[in-house]
């Protein structure tokens, strides 16, 4: 056996270097290699522990971001829901009020760029940005979720918002009625770049970042912010393997490559509850491992230094002789076995002795390092356990942190070691200010007497139930806190600290006190009420009577404070009472019955018993409240009154019928008188227009002929000019008087055009800018209704001028079924409708009476300082009037050609319903060499027929004519004789009338009061200074 060992030793020796120096070098390498491997293993273990710690930290950060963002969305949801409920409480709500409320709410959140009120169909009705009103959002994801039944929803990130041109996120809260029907949606558009307003629970240093993703994986927000394109936001999910897991509802952590920066990062992804989004946190791997790299560099330098010294020592030892080397080898083997020989070799040369000492020191160093390695391993295990405990502690704290809470840690002496930042919002102190003994801020309230006992038991390791604490706020007020504490143990099971969560329950305590006070008030009020007051549970069992129960038979109080309900009823009323009460309890409908109840003196009195159910939010009955009122005296009085009423009813009926008959006659007489006044005013206006003004216009035409004939006589020409000026003044005075009596626009235009003309008159006379809004064509049964709406609008606008003291008003007319509605509103000083006589005069009373006579209704909404709105709705009268069939007039094409040579005279047709005007124009045109008078027409229909047959070059068209007005006649001529020019001739200078003729196709519009030269210029197609159509088109 020994020979075999020796043989193998010799073979191994052949593999060794032959020289002592080389062998010593090999020895140094063999000694240094384990040290290097040990250093590499330690570095790997430290790196892994560091990476695990960093991953856990990023996971905690991501969870904090998720909770903060979820709380922010919940808070914004509650605010949107409050806005929606507030809008529904307006009576009625207005767009201006809604917009102000939305703007105020949006101003509280820098990240909210717009807030909108959206209809159930998805149309924006009101927006903080005017350009958004009317836009359709029904295709957005958040709106589809709300239509599917969700109370609120958050949409995905979009490249461009509905209103904004930047990436945005939409959020909406549904507003529903009690049946669940969607009434509208309050939405908010969030700009991701402004989400920095949120205060996240951790700060980021050395390259760390927060991120938030929508449920499609698009990057919504990143802090710190960097420039992001839409492609950067979209491509994140394809390159982030952790994000996909988080979008499936899993918590994911690990290493990723940043799609934006491209470096390796420690990352964590956490789903945001209730939204479907993901919160993330990352930190560069280079930052995490930087301390370990510095330590590795230091160890490598130290190892290289030690190796250099070892090789130098080996070179010196090679010079010694073999014997000291063998002794050294022997001693080295002993050292390898764990025994270190410290005695020097006195026979060895100095170099060998030094080598011996070096090897001895190296052996001692290796043993020390092995011991240090064991201790390091123990410390690593301890740190790992502490890290696990810290993770569990922080997880518990975060899970308990909700709403008005703050987290704290105090030592076994009761001195706070840690306080969460949320304490500032609850008690006003910063975490540093509160870092004292726990009883520093306690009040003298009796509830605080048990605090010290609870704390001592927690320090002893006994877990305590939640208890209440009364503390002082920084502003001097007091707060109620509910405290839950948990002792923290070390590895040996010793309590080293106490962790706790404190919740602000001040509002709950106040509510409990108010409830107790309310119950005390209720019982006092119930006992003071001269009625029998009772309550019952949902099943109908009575559990309370007030003190009046002592006055009745059959009601007894039980020892436990309840009541034995068996009141003695009259035998004839028992069945009906039981039936009514059973029906009320079964259906939840109010209970009411009159029955006879036996009182304590054994007499029966009639009582009115009523009961009403109290329901919870789900509509279920949770309590019954009722009373029983003694109506015996009322019953006796009713019997006496019944007999008296029988004798009075006949007389009252007779007098009432007579009074109603006279009232009806008076109302009809009043309406007929008002309509007669309108007809008489119109008749006088027609007389002024059709007779006096036309006669004056005809005289003016003849005077123009006279001026042309006496051009050589200066005196006659001057007299003619003066007469012409006098005629113009007379015509203008007559026209003004005609307009004041009955404006021509009232009977020759639609209602909306008439109101537009009235708005112009009000603006010119009183400086009030009136905006007129007409929804579609408004058809009325006759001119009487149109005259009523005109007068009503005139009176209401005059009240605005007189009392509102504003420069603008809104007049709106629209149809609602068979009713035509007229609304006049302003934002002036307003008034109390109860003071209508003193504030708005008797005009509105007159309008109200006529509205009632016409079968309509009138409402006035106003308040001092808040403007006024007057609403009038009257039936259009079309149902009472038979529909008239329209007549169609087809113009026959005449045999004459419309073409005319340049040298032939202009062929002119005159259309006017006043013969004297036609004669004057015929005489005037006949004296013109370049004009040929070819015919005349007395109404619009005759003018269309003559134009179709005669094919004139020009038609001089009066605006107001029977059978067919001038605008319709012009429209027919342009259709059948398109080559004919039309010159409108009228006494009316209103812009509405001019615009009607211009739209119908008139080429010129000349007033009858204009000089005859202007009329001739218009006929010839030359520019005329008094052409109203050109002035209207350019002005």
Helices (H) and strands (E) in the chain, counts: 28, 32
Length of the chain measured in residues: 1035
**For 780-825, how does the pLDDT look when each residue is reduced to its tens digit (9 = 90+)?**
766 777 778 888 888 888 888 888 888 899 988 888 888 888 899 9
**Mean pLDDT, residues 230-250:** 83
Say if CB 759 and CB 743 are below 8 A apart: no
Q: Which of 98-102, 154-158, 383-387, 466-470 has the highest mean pLDDT?
A: 466-470
pLDDT in the model for residue 780: 73
Do residues 752 and 654 share a domain?
no
**Mean pLDDT, residues 997-1001:** 88
Do residues 183 and 241 share a domain?
no
Q: Is residue 319 part of a domain?
A: no
Q: Is residue 596 part of a domain?
A: yes
**Mean pLDDT, residues 466-491:** 89
Residue 727 DSSP SS3? helix
Say if CB 340 and CB 359 are below 8 A apart: no
pLDDT in the model for residue 935: 92
Least confident of 151-165, 322-336, 644-658, 973-987: 322-336
Q: Which of 327-331, 498-502, 1025-1029 has the highest mean pLDDT?
A: 498-502
Say if CB 446 and CB 469 are below 8 A apart: no
Q: Is the pLDDT of residue 909 over 90?
A: yes
Least confident of 544-548, 889-893, 936-940: 889-893
**Mean pLDDT, residues 397-407:** 64
Say if CB 994 and CB 1002 are below 8 A apart: no
Euclidean distance between CA atoms 613 and 590, whole angstroms: 7
Q: Where are the alpha helices (DSSP H) in 415-564?
A: 423-427, 451-459, 506-528
pLDDT in the model for residue 842: 42
Say if CB 505 and CB 587 are below 8 A apart: no
The CA–CA distances, whole Å, from 606 to 157, 583, 590, 630, 632 equal 70, 21, 20, 6, 5
Name beta bridge partners: 483: 467, 502
Which range of residues forms the domain containing residue 139? 83-191
pTM: 0.33
Burial class (CB in 10 A: 0-12, 13-18, 19+), 849: middle
Euclidean distance between CA atoms 36 and 29, whole angstroms: 10
Euclidean distance between CA atoms 745 and 753, whole angstroms: 8
Measure CA of the first residue to CA of the last residue in the chain; give whole Å. 131
Q: Is the pLDDT of residue 856 over 60?
A: yes
Q: Which of 34-48, 560-574, 859-873 has the highest mean pLDDT?
A: 859-873
Q: Is residue 1025 part of a domain?
A: yes
Do residues 618 and 558 share a domain?
yes
Residue 29's pLDDT band (cuts 50, 70, 90):
confident
pLDDT in the model for residue 187: 92
Q: Considering the chain, what is the average pLDDT of its residues?
A: 78
Q: Is residue 236 part of a domain?
A: yes
Question: 991 versus 892: which is more confidently predicted?
Answer: 991
**Mean pLDDT, residues 118-126:** 91
Residue 893 DSSP SS3? coil
Do residues 478 and 536 share a domain?
no
Residue 271's pLDDT band (cuts 50, 70, 90):
very high
**For 936-951, how does the pLDDT look when each residue is reduced to its tens digit (9 = 90+)?**
999 989 999 999 998 9
CA-based nearest residue to 551, from 531, 578, 569, 529:
531
Of 630, 651, 679, which marks where a domain is finished?
630
Give the CATH number of the domain where residue 936 resides: 3.40.50.2300
**Mean pLDDT, residues 134-158:** 87
The CA–CA distances, whole Å, from 628 to 531, 547, 552, 590, 610 equal 6, 13, 11, 14, 7
Do residues 200 and 184 share a domain?
no
Q: Is the pLDDT of residue 266 over 80?
A: yes
Do residues 763 and 798 share a domain?
yes
Do residues 748 and 862 share a domain?
yes
Euclidean distance between CA atoms 917 and 680, whole angstroms: 25
Residue 602 DSSP SS3? coil
Which contiguous run of DSSP H or E holds residue 641? helix 632-686
Residue 997's pLDDT band (cuts 50, 70, 90):
confident
Q: Is the pLDDT of residue 839 over 50?
A: no
**Mean pLDDT, residues 487-494:** 86
Do residues 804 and 828 share a domain?
yes
Give the CATH number of the domain where residue 821 resides: 3.30.565.10
Euclidean distance between CA atoms 388 and 296, whole angstroms: 26
Read off the tokens for 836.
Answer: 């209508």
- Long-range contacts, 405-410 (Cβ 8 Å, 24+): 405/501, 405/502, 405/503, 405/504, 406/501, 406/502, 407/499, 407/500, 407/501, 407/502, 408/499, 408/500, 408/501, 408/502, 409/488, 409/497, 409/498, 409/499, 409/500, 410/438, 410/497, 410/498, 410/500
Euclidean distance between CA atoms 532 and 545, whole angstroms: 7
Q: Is residue 38 part of a domain?
A: no
Give the CATH number of the domain where residue 415 resides: 3.30.450.20
| Percentage with pLDDT > 70 across the chain | 77
pLDDT in the model for residue 937: 93
Of 487, 503, 519, which marks where a domain is finished?
503
**Mean pLDDT, residues 145-166:** 80
Write out the DSSP string of 284-316.
EHHHHHHHHHHHHHHHHHHHHHHHHHHHHHHHH
**For 172-200, how does the pLDDT look when each residue is reduced to its tens digit (9 = 90+)?**
999 998 888 888 999 998 888 777 666 55
Euclidean distance between CA atoms 516 and 524, whole angstroms: 12
**For 594-645, how does the pLDDT look when each residue is reduced to its tens digit (9 = 90+)?**
888 888 788 888 988 899 998 888 888 888 888 888 888 888 888 888 888 7
pLDDT in the model for residue 21: 61
In the sheet where 954-958 sits, what is the strand order? 931-937, 906-911, 954-958, 981-986, 1004-1007
**Mean pLDDT, residues 711-720:** 71
Residue 655's pLDDT band (cuts 50, 70, 90):
confident
pLDDT in the model for residue 161: 64
pLDDT in the model for residue 888: 34
Write out the DSSP string of 213-280.
E-TT--EEEEES-----HHHHHTHHHH-HHHHHHHTT--EEEEEE-TTT--EEEEEEEEPTTT--EEE
Residue with tokens 């005037």: 924
Euclidean distance between CA atoms 107 and 141, whole angstroms: 25
Q: Is the pLDDT of residue 911 over 90?
A: yes
Burial class (CB in 10 A: 0-12, 13-18, 19+), 86: middle
Do residues 616 and 641 share a domain?
no
Q: Is residue 154 part of a domain?
A: yes
Q: Is residue 314 part of a domain?
A: no
CA-based nearest residue to 608, from 590, 588, 586:
590
**For 745-782, how does the pLDDT look when each residue is reduced to its tens digit (9 = 90+)?**
666 667 777 788 888 888 888 888 988 888 777 777 66
pLDDT in the model for residue 891: 36
Say if CB 269 and CB 251 are below 8 A apart: yes
Do residues 181 and 219 share a domain?
no
| Percentage with pLDDT > 90 across the chain | 7
The CA–CA distances, whole Å, from 667 to 548, 674, 795 equal 56, 11, 21
Residue with tokens 């990023």: 58
Residue 164's pLDDT band (cuts 50, 70, 90):
low
Do residues 828 and 918 share a domain?
no
Query: How many domains does the chain fold into?
Result: 7
Of 289, 304, 332, which marks where a domain is finished?
289
Task: Rounding to the nearest 10 degrees, give the CA dihedral for residues 189, 190, 191, 194.
Answer: 140
Do residues 608 and 655 share a domain?
no
Neighbours of 253 (CB within 10 A): 22
pLDDT in the model for residue 160: 72
Q: Is the pLDDT of residue 847 over 60?
A: yes
CA geometry: angle 916, 918, 922, nearest 5 deg:
120
């Amino acid at each position: 056996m020994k020979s075999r060992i020796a043989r193998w030793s010799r073979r191994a020796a052949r593999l060794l270097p032959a020289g002592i120096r080389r062998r010593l070098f090999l020895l140094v390498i063999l000694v240094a290699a384990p040290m290097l491997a040990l250093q590499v293993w330690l570095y790997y273990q430290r790196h892994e522990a560091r990476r695990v710690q960093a991953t856990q930290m990023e996971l905690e950060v991501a969870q904090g971001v998720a909770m903060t963002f979820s709380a922010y969305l919940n808070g914004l949801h509650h605010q949107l829901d409050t806005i929606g409920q507030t809008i529904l409480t307006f009576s009625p709500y207005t767009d201006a009020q809604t917009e102000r409320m939305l703007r105020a709410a949006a101003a509280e959140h820098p990240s909210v760029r717009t807030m909108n009120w959206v209809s159930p169909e998805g149309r924006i009705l009101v927006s903080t940005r005017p350009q958004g009103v009317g836009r359709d959002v029904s295709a957005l994801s958040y709106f589809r979720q709300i239509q599917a039944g969700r109370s609120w929803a958050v949409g995905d990130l979009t490249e461009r918002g509905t209103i904004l041109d930047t990436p945005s996120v939409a959020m909406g809260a549904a507003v529903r009625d009690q049946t669940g029907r969607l009434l509208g949606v309050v939405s908010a558009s969030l700009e991701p770049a402004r989400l920095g307003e949120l205060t996240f629970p951790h700060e980021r240093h050395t390259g760390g970042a927060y991120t938030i993703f929508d449920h499609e994986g698009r990057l919504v927000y990143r802090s710190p912010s960097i420039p992001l394109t839409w492609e950067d936001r979209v491509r994140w999910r394809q390159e982030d393997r952790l994000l996909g897991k988080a979008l499936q509802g899993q918590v994911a952590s690990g290493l990723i490559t940043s799609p934006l920066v491209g470096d390796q990062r420690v990352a964590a992804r956490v789903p945001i509850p209730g939204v479907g989004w993901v919160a993330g946190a990352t930190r560069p791997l280079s930052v995490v491992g930087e301390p370990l790299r510095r330590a590795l560099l230091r160890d490598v330098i130290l190892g290289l230094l030690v190796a250099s010294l070892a090789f130098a020592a080996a070179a010196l030892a090679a010079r010694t002789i073999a014997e000291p080397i063998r002794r050294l080898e022997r001693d080295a083997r002993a050292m390898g076995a764990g025994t270190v020989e410290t005695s020097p070799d006195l026979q060895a040369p100095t170099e060998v002795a030094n080598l011996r000492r070096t090897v001895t020191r190296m052996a001692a160093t290796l043993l020390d390092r092995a011991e240090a390695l064991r201790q390091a391993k123990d410390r690593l295990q301890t740190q790992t356990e502490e890290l696990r405990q810290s993770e569990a502690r922080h997880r518990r704290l975060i899970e308990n942190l909700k709403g008005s809470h703050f987290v704290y840690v105090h030592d076994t002496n009761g001195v706070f070691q840690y306080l969460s930042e949320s304490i500032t919002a609850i008690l006003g102190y910063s975490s540093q200010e509160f870092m004292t003994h726990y009883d520093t801020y306690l009040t003298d309230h009796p509830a605080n007497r048990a605090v010290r006992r609870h704390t001592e038991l927690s320090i002893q390791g006994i877990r305590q139930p939640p208890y209440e604490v009364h503390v002082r706020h920084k502003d001097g007020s007091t707060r109620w806190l509910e405290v839950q504490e948990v002792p923290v143990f070390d590895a040996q099971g010793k309590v080293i600290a106490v962790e706790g969560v404190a919740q602000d329950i001040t509002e709950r305590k106040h509510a409990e006190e108010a409830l107790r006070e309310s119950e005390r008030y209720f019982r006092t009020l119930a006992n003071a009420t001269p009625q029998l007051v009772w309550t019952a549970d949902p099943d109908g069992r009575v559990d309370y009577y007030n003190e009046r129960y002592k006055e009745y038979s059959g009601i007894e109080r039980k020892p436990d404070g309840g009541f034995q309900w068996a009141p003695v009823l009259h035998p004839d009323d028992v069945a009906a009472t039981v039936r009514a009460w059973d029906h009320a309890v079964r259906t939840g409908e109010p209970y009411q019955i009159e029955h006879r109840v036996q009182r304590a003196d054994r007499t029966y009195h009639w009582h009115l018993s009523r009961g009403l159910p109290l329901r919870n939010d789900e509509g279920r009955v949770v309590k019954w409240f009722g009373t029983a009122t003694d109506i015996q005296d009322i019953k006796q009085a009713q019997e006496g009154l019944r007999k008296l009423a029988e004798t009075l009813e006949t007389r009252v009926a007779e007098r009432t019928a007579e009074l109603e008959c006279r009232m009806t006659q008076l109302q009809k007489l009043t309406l007929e008188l008002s309509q007669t006044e309108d007809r008489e005013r119109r008749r006088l206006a027609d007389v002024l227009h059709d007779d006096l003004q036309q006669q004056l216009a005809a005289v003016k035409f003849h005077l123009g002929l006279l001026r042309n004939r006496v051009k050589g006589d200066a005196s006659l020409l001057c007299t003619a000019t003066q007469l012409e000026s006098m005629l113009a003044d007379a015509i203008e005075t007559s026209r003004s008087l005609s307009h004041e009596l009955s404006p021509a626009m009232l009977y020759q235009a639609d209602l909306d055009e008439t109101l537009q003309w009235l708005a112009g008159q009000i603006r010119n006379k009183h400086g009030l800018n009136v905006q007129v809004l007409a929804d579609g064509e408004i058809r009325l049964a006759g001119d009487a209704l149109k005259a009523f709406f005109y007068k009503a609008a005139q009176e209401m606008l005059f009240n605005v001028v007189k009392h509102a003291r504003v420069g603008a008003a809104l007049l709106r007319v629209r149809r609602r079924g068979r009713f035509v509605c007229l609304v006049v509103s302003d934002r002036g000083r307003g008034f109390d409708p109860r003071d209508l006589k003193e504030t708005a005069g008797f005009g509105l009373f007159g309008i109200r009476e006529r509205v009632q006579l016409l079968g309509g209704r009138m409402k006035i909404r106003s308040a001092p300082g808040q403007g006024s709105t007057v609403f009038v709705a009257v039936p259009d009268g079309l149902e009472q009037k038979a529909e008239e069939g329209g007549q169609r007039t087809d113009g026959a094409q005449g045999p004459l050609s419309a073409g005319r040579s340049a040298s032939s005279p202009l062929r002119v047709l005159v259309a006017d319903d006043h013969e004297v005007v036609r004669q004057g124009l015929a005489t005037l045109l006949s004296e013109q060499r370049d004009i040929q008078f070819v015919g005349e027409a007395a109404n619009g229909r005759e003018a269309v027929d003559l134009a179709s047959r005669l094919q004139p070059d020009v038609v001089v068209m009066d605006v107001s004519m029977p059978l067919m007005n001038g605008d319709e006649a012009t429209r027919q001529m342009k259709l059948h004789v398109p080559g004919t020019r039309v010159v409108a001739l009228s006494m009316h200078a209103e812009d509405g009338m001019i615009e009607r003729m211009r739209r119908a196709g008139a080429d010129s519009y000349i007033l009858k009061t204009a000089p005859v030269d202007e009329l001739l210029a218009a006929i010839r197609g030359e520019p005329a200074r008094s052409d109203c159509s050109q002035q209207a088109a350019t002005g």
